[in-house]
Amino acid sequence: MTLGVCLGQTAPYYNLALVLVVVILFIKLFKTPNKKAYILPWKILFFSIIVYIVEEIITVLQKSGLMAVPKVIFPVFEMIIIISFTYMVLIQKEYVKNGKQKETKKTKKKAIASKNE
């Protein structure tokens, strides 16, 4: 067996091991007491990682011969992941945009109040 074939056969297993570390880090992130942080994009990213885990588990089961899946299922998983990444970026962009608008409104009100005094 060549190195490429060996890596191709074992990749789903070590991918699952590495993603386990990521899931643990996400759980620690969600348990942090600081509720001022905007974590909705991180929750969507966590959803994408869960979809990835399901995809890898199906891959492992398929390669071991325990399950037969149609070929269309993997592109569907990939599209879900890509769409959730895009949505995550867009809501973060909207949050930053609205956050800066709120800050400028507050600073303008403070500046007007200080001029009136």
Tens digits of residue pLDDT in 39-55: 899 999 999 999 999 99
* Two structure tokens written together for 65: 């011969």
Distance CA 117, CA 5 (A): 76
Question: Is the CB of residue 45 less than 8 Å from the CB of residue 25?
Answer: no
Q: Residue 21: its pLDDT value, please? A: 93
DSSP string, 32-50: -S-TTS--HHHHHHHHHHH
Residue 77 has pLDDT above 80, yes or no: yes
Averaged over 26-43, what is the pLDDT?
86
Distance CA 35, CA 62 (A): 41
- Tell which residue, 27, 50, 51, 49, has the closest CA to residue 39: 27
Q: Whole-prediction pTM value?
A: 0.75
Q: Residue 10: its pLDDT value, please? A: 83
Question: Is the CB of residue 53 less than 8 Å from the CB of residue 16?
Answer: yes
